[in-house]
Amino acid sequence: MKLLVCINKTPDTTARISFTSDGTKFDSSGVQFIMNPYDEWYALVRAVELKEQLGGTVTAVHVGSADSDTIIRKALAIGADDAIRINKAPTDAFDIAHQISVIARDQEYDMILLGKESIDYNSAEVGPMLAELLELPFVGFANKVESNGQQAIVSRDIEGGVETAIIPLPVVVSAAKGTAEQRIPNMRGIMMAKSKPLKVVEPLEVAQTVLPVQFELPSGRTTCRMIDPDNMEQLVELLHTEAKVI
């Protein structure tokens, strides 16, 4: 089974988020970056598990500049066999999907896995865009991904139950919680990753389709106000005049 896993680089979950002074860009100074947890814990680990069950290869693909190489090495340390970096700081989801589709088109991957979304912009767009560009079926937000080598059996939680789809390969699947368990790379994996191939390819020109106009931080969390239970009138008053919900 030939598997492709798309991995993204995102700010660490504990990073303090701020924007450049004109508010049009994320300010990355002093921010530590990690592999997008949905890509790492679920898509990548599940791909490695499927390879362990059915044989085959796992390739990790990333659109980004050379400073992403540590994250790519981590993917190799966790168990990907080789990696491709498309050498470009991506502009938007369509750019990423487009760049990856070029790589994927003539490689005939049986399954392309990626996280349900990135924890930076959370737009969950790359998966469906990539499937569309490749004219492949897409299942999003999977909680369980199985395969027998011919088909993918993908389940996801829906309102009041579980939906299971059986899809002939090839397919694009975005993975959510439940798909796999986080795997911490061990020292041997980290050393082995050093000798695994990481191919750098140049990007294709893609017109920018989305132009961020303004980023804003949500207003800070306000503190909790305690109201005496005997003072219901004050509560109603505050809900009306301050919170403006009634």
Partner 1 sequence: MANKEDRFQSHDHYNVDALLEQDHLLARDAVRTWVKQSVSPIIEDYSERAECPVHLFKELAEIGAFGPSLPIKYGGGGMDEIAYGVIMQELERGDSGIRSMASVQGSLVMYPIYRFGSEEQRIKYLPKLGAGEFVGCFGLTEPDHGSDPGGMTTHIVDDGDVYILNGAKMWITNAPQADVAVVWAKDQEGAIRGLIVEKGMSGFSAPEIHGKWSLRASSTGELVFEDVRVPKKNLLPDVKGLKGPLSCLSKARYGIAWGAIGAAMDCYDSALRYSLERQQFGRPIGGFQLTQKKLAEMITEITKAQLLAWRLGTLANKGEATPAQISMAKRNNVHMALEIAREARQIHGGMGITNEYPIMRHMMNLETVLTYEGTHDIHLLITGHNVTGLDAFRG
Residues that bind partner 1 (CB under 8 A): 14, 32, 34, 69-70, 73-74, 77, 182, 184-188, 190-191, 193-194
* Nearer of residues 134 and 193 to partner 1, judged by Cβ: 193
H helices within the chain, ranges in order? 37, 45-54, 69-78, 93-105, 126-134, 187-193, 232-241
**Min separation Cβ 193 and partner 1, Å:** 8
Nearest to 101 by CA among 82, 89, 118, 84: 84
Q: How far is the CB of 100 from partner 1 (least distance, A)?
A: 23
Which of 96, 103, 67, 61 has its CA nearest to residue 81?
A: 61
Q: Confirm if 148 and 39 have CB atoms less than 8 A apart.
A: no
Least distance to partner 1, CB of residue 32, Å: 7
**At its nearest, how many Å lie between partner 1 and the CB of residue 70?**
5
First to last CA, the chain: 58
**Minimum Å distance from CB 221 to partner 1?**
13
Q: Which two tokens stand for residue 186?
A: 């061990």
Structure tokens at 37: 């947890």
* 22: Cβ contacts below 8 Å, ≥ 6 apart: none
Q: Which residues of 169-186 are buried (b: 16+ CB within 10 A; e: fewer)?
A: bbbbbbbbeebbeebebe
Least distance to partner 1, CB of residue 67, Å: 11
Contact between residue 149 and residue 42 where contact means Cβ atoms under 8 Å apart = no
